[in-house]
Chains A and B, each alone.
Chain A
């Protein structure tokens, strides 16, 4: 744990709560397992000592802003989560004036599961080229020279692309057959805020309740599609999947297409519209040639 970061978070939280600037500070506190951290909602200045920050702070707290729209709140974000705030702002889901962003210059987080945490950095951190948040009101840490990721983000995607149709079908069927449709991947995602999700509609029924791989595939395919050009690659969906479906491999494919076709990466700015929410008349995208 970096005491300096923690102290700054606590001080800021105390100042914001006691001055009445915000109703709540969304941050991290130590989990009951003594090993990992968990999201914390601090309403009283006297509770700020609960706040911590370490390399198990994997959760994307921007997700919680969706249910905290009435009064101003503060939120602790890593650079990846900060891109999520931009996505929510550009989609008019939250108002800039109602969010106080405490940005952290991040050194990466480790894999976290119910049974503890790993040592190696998460894949998203190995790929990260932006250790300072893109949006903040208060910054903690010194923005250093940005790291150049040594791994290409598209390596695993390219590997999958090179397989035959039969191999791809086989691979994804094996993966999707495990899905128990718990929708944890949706609940944890800052981009999945729909009041009515397509998967729960009964008329028309897009995904049947039958226990069947094809129904699971519908869910997984469309969930990924709905996040195309919006997914910030936080990897939380895959982390919470109880049956370890590599959802990142799906999300990354769409991120790659979006980068190639539209030169776009989600969340870099709150002013730009997501690629599927806009168009360019001049492009032809290889259709109808």
Chain B
């Protein structure tokens, strides 16, 4: 693996919490790797497993999803439904040969800017450590 390998990571962040958390990290000038391309979604429940599959199909090295803590979803129940899907999708991806380190789901609130940057940094390191995805993966 070349030293300058930079993984491409897609981040799906819930507008009401994690996206605001990422915003907070930005305004507080906390730095974190720029490998993550953030897509704002109205709720973690909006993240259709199709999105995740499509990211990997189009060559993403990692997919990071963050939503409101259980109990704090703006739409009350979105993340409760979502986490069931995420857990099944994660096992399916792994079963098809996508390392489980390439996929992570977290709960991050609007006030957890610091936590957001820590999670993203650790995730980026993990994905970078795996190296580029294998041909045809």
B92 near A224 with CB under 8 A, answer yes
Residues of A within 8 A of B57 (CB): 214, 217-218
**Is B84 a contact of A161 with CB atoms below 8 Å?**
no
Does A253 reach chain B (CB closer than 8 Å)? yes
Judge whether A288 is part of the interface by a CB distance below 8 angstroms. yes
Stretch at the interface among B8-16, B25-33, B93-101: B93-101
Contact B136 A287 (CB under 8 A): no
Contact B106 A287 (CB under 8 A): yes
CB-CB under 8 A for A279 and B91, given A165-B97, A172-B96, A172-B97: no
Are B83 and A285 touching (Cβ within 8 A)? yes
User: Is A281 interfacial (CB 8 A cutoff)?
Assistant: yes
Q: For the complex, would chain B's binding face be called helix, strand, loop or mixed by DSSP majority? A: helix
- CA–CA, A221 and B107, complex, Å: 26
B window 31-75: CB within 8 A of A: 49-50, 53-54, 57, 69-71
With known contacts A173-B136, A228-B88, A253–B95 Cβ distance under 8 A? yes
Bound-complex Cα distance A150 to B75 (A) = 46
Partner of A257, one of B70, B91, B96, B99: B91
Is there contact, CB below 8 Å, between B87 and A169?
no
Partner pick for A281 among B70, B86, B87, B91, CB 8 A cutoff: B70
Contacts of A168 in B (CB 8 A): 95-97
Instruction: Give bound CA distance, A40 to B117, whole Å.
Output: 62
Interface residue? B89 (CB, 8 A)? yes
Neighbour of B81 across the interface among A166, A167, A276, CB < 8 A: A276
Residues on B with beta carbons closer than 8 Å to the beta carbon of A206: 50, 54
Contact A169 B86 (CB under 8 A): no
Q: What's the Cα separation between A204 and B76 when bound, in Å?
A: 28
B137 at the binding interface (Cβ < 8 Å) = yes
| A153 adjacent to chain B (CB < 8 Å) | no
Mark out the residues of chain A between 216 and 254 whose CB falls within 8 Å of any chain B CB in the assembled complex.
217-218, 221-222, 224-225, 228-229, 250, 253-254
- Report the bound CA distance from A253 to B93 in whole Å: 11
CA distance A228 to B49 in the complex (A): 12
Q: Which residue of B lies closest to A167 (CB)?
A: B97
Does B125 lie at the interface of the complex (its beta carbon under 8 Å from any beta carbon of A)? no
Q: Mark A44-75, 1 if CB is under 8 A from B, else 0.
A: 00000000000000000000000000000000
Q: Is A34 an interface residue (CB 8 A)?
A: no
Q: Enumerate chain B residues within 8 angstroms of A288, measured Cβ to Cβ.
A: 69, 105-107
**Nearest residue, chain A, Cβ from B102:** A165
Interface flag for A261 (CB, 8 Å): yes
Min distance, Cβ B60 to any Cβ of chain A, angstroms: 13
B101 CB → nearest A CB, Å: 10
Among candidates B53, B81, B89, B95, residue contacting A279 with C-beta atoms closer than 8 Å: B81
A165 to B17, CA, bound (A): 33
Does B85 lie at the interface of the complex (its beta carbon under 8 Å from any beta carbon of A)?
A: yes
Q: Are B54 and A218 in contact (CB under 8 A)?
A: yes
Contacts A206-B50, A279-B77, A287-B106; A166 near B97 (Cβ below 8 A): yes
Shortest beta-carbon contacts, A-B, top 10:
A169-B97, A168-B97, A279-B80, A288-B107, A285-B87, A169-B137, A257-B91, A287-B105, A165-B97, A288-B106
Query: What would be 10 A-B contacts, judged by CB atoms less than 8 Å apart?
Result: A165-B97, A165-B99, A168-B95, A172-B96, A172-B97, A257-B88, A279-B77, A285-B83, A285-B84, A288-B105
